[in-house]
């Protein structure tokens, strides 16, 4: 199979991923093999490629917003999955036995593994996954359109839940890329008034198209106190800016797996029972609920498409905030 392989992390100003040929993988016990049709390109991939996240496997095939069809199953995996179109998100596996897993919080499992980080991911023609961690996809979504739901979408959904935003509340979103362009549609479905903070004029225009009540930069005054906010951008300096306009009793959720250091700030910014909390990955429950909700709304995803061999280009455009919505690799078997 063809795959884009990362061996040496570093700045993406030069190509870090190499197009290689690898043996087609064979599923082991409890696993399925997915013939990949499309794979989203995520900021987490960029953090891996540039070395912000230390690799758990090296070399590794990145990619964790995977859409494809199950074409082989290992011992113990249900044959009913054969031929099904499925999605594979960031959470690849967990022990399924610890107190976190038993409490539907497998995202916190100490033995958790993540797609494209601990194991080879979807920047390839085939990938393997535990059958228990793949998700059937709604027919309403074409392959490429489904990719943003599998990481950006599900993380955005979990961030909404952990922000404790109530229907009809005032919600702030900081950064407006893949996750936020899905989260705003869920929030608007819940009747929330959404305020979007981003430096990009193009992203502000996109947010307005999707129903934002106000858009501007983080240092600007939105003209209202917010009940909850989510920071999607990996910039610690946004935390005091977000707290500045968060109402008392509000929650600020930090949705990134990586963030630059948080600056020192006055206690007054958090006083008034404001909460700051991280969002760590997502659960299978989050994925199931988001996929069902996406079909119900229905969520309209925006995806810029690249061929497999252009993964480096897609990552550079992502870093430069030149992607409107999500980016995805369209993978055609040679």
Give mean pLDDT in consecutive 10-residue pieces for the chain, a chain of 334 residues: 97 97 97 98 96 96 98 94 96 97 96 97 98 95 96 95 98 96 97 97 96 98 98 96 98 94 96 97 95 96 97 97 95 82
List where CATH 3.40.50.720 sits in the chain.
153-278
**Alpha-carbon 311 to chain mean position:** 17
Residue with tokens 């996954």: 129
Task: Write the CA distances from 29 to 3, 95, 112, 126, 129, integer angstroms.
Answer: 23, 15, 18, 17, 10
What gap in Å lies between CA 138 and CA 296, rounded to an integer? 10
Tokens representing residue 80 in the block: 């009913």
User: What's the angle, vertex CA 138, arms to CA 105 and CA 106, rounded to 5?
Assistant: 10
The secondary structure of residue 174, as a DSSP letter, is: E
Asked if 276 contacts 254 with a C-beta cutoff of 8 angstroms, the reply is: yes
DSSP string over 209-249: HTT-SEEE-TTS--SS-EEEEEE-SS-TTHHHHHHHTEEEE
User: H/E element holding 159?
Assistant: helix 152-163
Q: Tell me, what's the pLDDT at 334? A: 67
Under 8 Å between Cβ of 251 and 169: no
Q: What is the CATH number of domain 2-151+300-330?
A: 3.90.180.10
171 close to 236: Cβ distance less than 8 angstroms: no
Q: Tokens 């903070």 appear where?
A: 197
Domain with CATH 3.90.180.10 in the chain: 2-151+300-330
pLDDT for 333: 80
Beta-carbon contacts of 290 under 8 Å, excluding residues fewer than 6 positions away, are: 149, 153, 154, 157, 186
Write down the architecture of domain 153-278 according to CATH. 3-Layer(aba) Sandwich (3.40)
Check: pTM over 0.85? Answer yes or no: yes
Q: Which residues pair with 113 in a beta bridge?
A: 93
Residue 54 pLDDT: 95
Answer for the pair 127, 36: CB distance below 8 angstroms, yes or no: yes
User: What are the b/e assignments for 220-243, b being 16+ CB within 10 Å?
Assistant: eebeeebbbbbbbbbbeebbbbbb
DSSP state of 147: G
Measured CA to CA, the distance from residue 177 to residue 152 in angstroms comes to 9
Please give the Cα distance from 159 to 240 (Å, whole number). 18
């Amino acid at each position: 199979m063809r795959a884009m392989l990362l061996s040496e992390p570093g700045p993406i100003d030069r190509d870090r991923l190499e197009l290689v040929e690898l043996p087609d993988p064979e599923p082991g016990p409890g696993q399925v093999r997915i013939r990949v049709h499309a794979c989203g390109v995520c900021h987490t991939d960029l953090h891996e490629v540039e070395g912000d996240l230390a690799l758990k496997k090296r070399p590794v095939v990145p990619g964790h917003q995977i859409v494809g069809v199950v074409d082989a199953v290992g011992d113990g995996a249900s044959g009913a999955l054969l031929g099904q179109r499925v999605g594979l998100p960031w959470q690849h596996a967990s022990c399924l036995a610890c107190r976190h897993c038993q409490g539907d919080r497998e995202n916190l499992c100490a033995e958790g593994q993540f797609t494209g980080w601990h194991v080879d991911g979807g920047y390839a023609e085939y990938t393997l996954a535990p059958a228990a961690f793949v998700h059937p996809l709604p027919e309403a979504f074409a392959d490429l359109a489904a990719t943003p739901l599998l990481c950006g979408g599900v993380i955005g959904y979990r961030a909404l839940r952990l922000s404790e935003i109530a229907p009809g509340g005032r919600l702030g979103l900081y950064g407006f890329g893949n996750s936020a362009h899905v989260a705003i549609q869920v929030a608007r479905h819940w009747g929330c008034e959404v305020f979007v903070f981003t430096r990009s004029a193009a992203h502000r225009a996109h947010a307005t198209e999707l129903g934002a009540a106000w858009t501007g930069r983080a240092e600007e005054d939105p003209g209202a106190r917010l009940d909850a906010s989510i920071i999607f951008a990996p910039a610690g300096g946004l935390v005091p800016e977000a707290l500045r306009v968060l109402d008392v009793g509000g929650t600020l959720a930090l949705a990134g797996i990586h963030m630059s250091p948080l600056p020192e700030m006055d206690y007054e910014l958090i006083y008034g029972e404001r909460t700051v909390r991280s969002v760590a990955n997502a659960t299978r429950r989050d994925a199931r609920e988001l996929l069902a909700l996406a079909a119900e709304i229905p969520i309209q995803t925006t995806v810029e498409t690249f061929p497999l061999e252009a993964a480096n280009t897609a990552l550079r455009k992502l870093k430069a905030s030149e992607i409107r919505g999500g980016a995805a690799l369209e993978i055609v078997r040679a």
